[in-house]
């Protein structure tokens, strides 16, 4: 598969992946996350929802 451009949005399937994306500064393209099992890691709260679309 060849993409003509980079993806604009991403969906994370678990909390660990979501926290990695947030720690990399990728909160804006993160459209949704599927599972939360624990409180979010300290320092990453700013990237969480609710955010205006």
* pLDDT single digits (tens) 1-53: 898 998 899 999 999 999 999 899 888 898 888 888 888 888 887 777 665 44
In a domain, 1, yes or no: no
Tokens 């624990």 identify what position? 38
In a domain, 15, yes or no: yes
In a domain, 25, yes or no: yes
Domain span at residue 31?
9-36
In a domain, 4, yes or no: no
- pLDDT at residue number 46: 75
In a domain, 43, yes or no: no
- Total domains in the chain come to 1
pTM for this prediction:
0.72
């Amino acid at each position: 598969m060849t993409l003509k451009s980079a993806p604009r949005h991403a969906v994370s399937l678990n909390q660990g992946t979501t926290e990695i994306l947030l720690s990399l500064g990728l909160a804006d393209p993160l459209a949704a996350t599927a599972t939360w099992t624990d409180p979010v890691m300290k320092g990453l709260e700013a990237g969480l929802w609710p955010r205006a679309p």
